[in-house]
Chain A
């Protein structure tokens, strides 16, 4: 149990009438605030203090704590009363007292008379354990004053009880079970009279050592005016043994963070900068972007016992990579490297501190599992997307089959049945690039390398086309599936206008020119070059055809919508014509039978 006390005369008074008992050996702590004529206040408080201390020292083992404290305070009161009666000049002197007797580390008794207070700070919340013995407070208790009225009452500081006014006084006692980390504050009115309860709560709950807190509370009262003597005693119950999660949050997080350079070094040795995800970055940039980010994410998650940072890290890493068309293998490889680095670092911590290492191992493993879960969620999401795309494709195929059946039906009245408009799906196209020799494949690879090198770094779309071109050219299936897939990748989402479509065709043309001229630069026989050019040209033509098919496909809805809208307009025109006929007939009837003076069409003739 840590205890500290402090006292100060204040800024106005010349003598300190407060007295204190700080006796850890006997478990006795008290604050006394004396009052009375010249020099009598300090004598009263000291006299009571001595009597109290002596009584407890002599009777500690013979009385129960509660009775002991009450009797000790009574003894103090008797001593002061006796002294005041003996000396005329000290007549009327007295003192308040708030005393705390520690029974055992978990059990205390608090007794008080007057307006010195005891506060309990538990889990950050401040609570008064004592109730001031003032006239106003007793009027409030009896319901004769409201708390607001009491605050403004001129006699709010006039005590209803103290030590010394009578030989015996009534002592209020509180027994309390202390919990780990609880703090008790004994103080005179010089503290709470010159500082707010919120400020006291803040200082007491700061986590600083009790001696600092006691001193800071005195400073607080002095900054608030220091109009009275001020005394404080801070008693802190023993802290609970740190839990595993506390150790991880503090020492674990710190140990992890101190290992970050080591983590980056291992990541570098394991080839993290060579991973496809960070290709194009310098090794330092790659390590910082991926390695350090994971270190930070794990550190923050350890500190807060969450997994949100690691989850976000893994999701951002993989999502960005997949968005760029990256493959899963690169993510797997990167996560394996990062996992290995983490394990090595944790093992090193375990080597120096087995217990901390064990807890850190569990926590870091949890973080890595969270990262894997995030990746799993992402993959599941992508699988769902592929699934729905397949279902959509399937339903489109069924729709096309239904339309074809409807077209073949001579009785069908469907006027606007669309034909399949994707020319690259024509089944009778010859397969021209099957069975390419290894030599041709090699030549094609060299050609594409040269072509990529000749492409401007900023021409992203051209580079994308070149990649697609090599995939289509390398596809020996001859079923155009690769061309279609690559065309869809290239096409993406584009508006059907010049600004949307033409850049794609410009890129396709640029890629064609670059790849065709690159063929002439490879080291190969003329015949091989011709075969490479043939393969690339065929692939290029398929790719362009597929892209054009997509443009045509995208333009169809405009025609369909126009047809639908035109049909509705036509229907409306018919309705208007019929309504006009009806109106004309009614006007004619009205003119004949009711009012022939009105000219034809003068009754709201429609204008259209």
Chain B
């Protein structure tokens, strides 16, 4: 491996990877994933996926703010794709390339995992909510039956009176 500070070298690629000029002052989509890549390079090498709690938070925040899972995943893939291309061009030393590729893959698959977990959690919530709705429907059905019976009785008595 060369003596290049990989974190610094990858930071230089930020504009290229995130296409920041398109977004002006705003954070470009996928910036949290780029940050996660830098963190992965800081700790160095492979790590257990899912340990980067900051990345978890970032994904959860985006989902909470209304971004769909597909959009989040798509951004992560975009960062990965661009990073791979940029790193092949930017790093001459294959060993450096390999470190960056591994870190980029780690980030991309971690995002995919977090997104999947979010989708699974959403499905569970939807399942539970549907159950509640169905229980409410059962109660409403009973209420409607009672109402119909009362209305029929009242209509019959009023009809007799008339």
A residues at B contact (CB < 8 Å)? 419, 421-424, 426, 429-430, 432, 496-498, 501-502, 505, 508-509, 512-513, 516-517, 519, 525-527, 529-530, 533-534, 537-538, 540-541, 544-545, 547-549, 551-552, 554-555, 558-559, 561-562, 565-566, 568-569, 572-573, 575-576, 579-580, 582-583, 586-587, 589-590, 593-594, 603-608
Complexed CA–CA distance, A548 and B71 (Å): 12
| Partner pick for B154 among A421, A538, A573, A583, CB 8 A cutoff | A583
Given contacts A423-B70, A555-B119, A562-B129, contact A572 B102 (CB under 8 A): no
Chain B residues, CB < 8 A from A513: 46
Cross-chain pairs A/B with CB under 8 angstroms, 15 sampled: A534-B84, A541-B77, A545-B108, A547-B116, A548-B115, A551-B116, A555-B126, A559-B123, A569-B133, A572-B137, A576-B143, A583-B147, A590-B157, A590-B158, A608-B140
Is B73 among interface residues, defined by CB-CB distance under 8 A?
yes
Surface stretch bound by A, among B15-23, B34-42, B91-99:
B91-99
Contacts of A549 in B (CB 8 A): 70, 73
Known contacts: A540-B109, A569-B137, A603-B153. The answer to whether A552 contacts B119 by CB under 8 A is yes
A13 nearest CB across to chain B (Å): 89
Contact A582 B77 (CB under 8 A): no
Flag if B140 contacts A573 (CB, 8 Å): yes
Closest 3 CB pairs of A and B: A530-B94, A558-B126, A586-B154
Residues of chain B with a CB closer than 8 A to A572's CB: 137, 140-141, 144
B106 CB contacts on chain A under 8 angstroms: 512
Residues in A whose Cβ lies below 8 Å from that of B124: 497
Known: A529-B98, A576-B147, A606-B146. A561 touches B126 (CB 8 A): yes
Known: A552-B69, A565-B137, A569-B133. A533 touches B116 (CB 8 A): no
Most buried by B among A538, A549, A551, A583: A551
Interface string of B53-93 (1 = CB under 8 A from A): 00000000000000011100110010011001100100001
Further 17 A-B residue pairs, CB within 8 A, beyond A423-B77, A544-B112: A432-B84, A502-B117, A537-B102, A545-B73, A545-B108, A558-B122, A559-B122, A565-B134, A569-B133, A572-B137, A575-B144, A583-B147, A583-B151, A590-B154, A590-B157, A594-B161, A604-B150
Rounded to whole angstroms, the CA-CA distance of A516 and B93 in the bound complex is 17
Chain A, interface SS category: helix
Question: Which among B97, B102, B153 is the interface contact of A604 at CB below 8 angstroms?
Answer: B153
* Chain A residues whose C-beta falls within 8 Å of the C-beta of B98 in the assembled complex: 519, 529-530, 533
**Once the chains are docked, how many angstroms separate the CA of A502 from the CA of B112?**
12
The listed residue (B77, B101, B113, B149) touching A505 by CB distance below 8 A is: B113
When distances are taken between beta carbons in the complex, the residues of chain B under 8 Å from A426 are 74, 77
A586 contacts B69, C-beta separation under 8 Å = no
B44 within 8 A of A: no
Closest to A496 in B: B123
The reply to whether B127 and A558 contact each other, CB–CB distance below 8 Å, is yes
Question: Do A498 and B161 have beta carbons less than 8 Å apart?
Answer: no
The docked-state distance in angstroms from the alpha carbon of A85 to that of B82 is 132
A502 to B113, CA, bound (A): 8
Closest to B46 in A: A513
How far is the CB of A489 from the nearest CB of chain B, in Å?
17
- Residues from chain B with a CB closer than 8 A to the CB of A548 are 73, 112-113, 115-116, 119
Query: Is B12 an interface residue when CB atoms closer than 8 A count as contact?
Result: no
Hey, which chain A residues are within 8 Å of B129, CB to CB? 562, 566
Residues of A within 8 A of B122 (CB): 555, 558-559
Contacts of A583 in B (CB 8 A): 147, 150-151, 154
Within the complex, which residue of B68, B94, B140 is in contact with A569, where a contact is CB–CB below 8 Å?
B140
Residue contact B127 to A594, C-beta cutoff 8 Å: no
